[in-house]
Chain A
Amino acid sequence: MALVKTPLRESGIIDGPLEATLLSSQDLCRDEHGALASFVGCVRNEHFGKNVTHLHYECYKPMAESVLQSLIEETCEKFDPELQARVFHGIGTMYPAQASVVIHVSSGHRVAAFDACRHIIERIKEDLPVWKQEFYADGTSEWLKGS
């Protein structure tokens, strides 16, 4: 009987900034994969001219975990059924240059890997129940309304 290898598709919501943002190709790529695309979203110190000191991410965790995994499955159906992915979003307090979201996608070819990586971050911004509260140098704060 032929061994059917289940594609690696991991996702999760993690407390705090994401520390391990880099990935060895051998940690995700199958032998038949020729491309590994990664996206790391970081905290920016500026928003529409305001000086951002830090962010606080809140989430609806059970739904966010479910949505993240669904987004990966949706992406596989759209770009490559053999695609493998690791997708993690951090929550809690984060400071400029710290990583809040990490996406790694491996695929047979670069176009599918790039497109899938882009698709996942865009869909995260549409549907992942995570909310960003920005804190500014002038002492004010604001919940962002979409991004």
Chain B
Amino acid sequence: MEIAVLYFAGMSEHTGKKQEVFDLPNPCGSADVLERVSNNYPHLSALCNRSRVAIGHAFVKEPVEINAQSEIAIIPPVSGG
């Protein structure tokens, strides 16, 4: 199943992308998304380990199944305020 993943801040800067499409097994969960990103960008594995996944504009806790229509985002440590 193809899913689109949104990147922000350092994740976007270091991948050079705002969004990327991955082919993941169906079903899959948020941890699978982070693992795939980490495998594709080994230099970002530490950042992936500290990042969270949001689906449909909300943080997710495992186990959450993802479908191709979900809006999925990698949320690196936030620094607002």
| Chain A interface residue bracket vs B | 20 to 34
User: A40 to nearest B CB, angstroms?
Assistant: 11
Count how many chain B residues have C-beta atoms less than 8 Å from C-beta atoms of the other chain.
18
Q: Who on chain B is nearest to A122 by CB?
A: B81
The answer to the question of B10 belonging to the interface, with a C-beta cut-off of 8 Å to chain A, is yes
**Which residues of chain B have C-beta atoms less than 8 A from A58's C-beta?**
8-9
The answer to the question of B75 belonging to the interface, with a C-beta cut-off of 8 Å to chain A, is yes
Interface residue SS majority, chain A? mixed
Given A131-B8, A145-B50, A59 and B80 touching (CB < 8 A)? Answer: yes
User: Are B77 and A57 interface neighbours, CB within 8 A?
Assistant: no
**Which residues of chain B have C-beta atoms less than 8 A from A38's C-beta?**
none
Across the interface, A121 reaches (CB within 8 A) one of B8, B75, B76, B81, namely: B81
User: Are B79 and A144 interface neighbours, CB within 8 A?
Assistant: yes
User: A39 to nearest B CB, angstroms?
Assistant: 9
The answer to the question of B59 belonging to the interface, with a C-beta cut-off of 8 Å to chain A, is yes
Bound-state CA distance A57–B10 (Å) is 12
Complex A-B: 23 CB contacts under 8 Å? A41-B81, A60-B6, A60-B75, A63-B54, A66-B57, A67-B57, A89-B80, A89-B81, A100-B81, A101-B80, A101-B81, A121-B81, A124-B80, A125-B78, A129-B54, A129-B75, A129-B78, A131-B8, A131-B10, A143-B9, A144-B79, A145-B77, A146-B77
Binding site for A on B (CB under 8 A): 6, 8-10, 13, 50, 54, 57-59, 73, 75-81
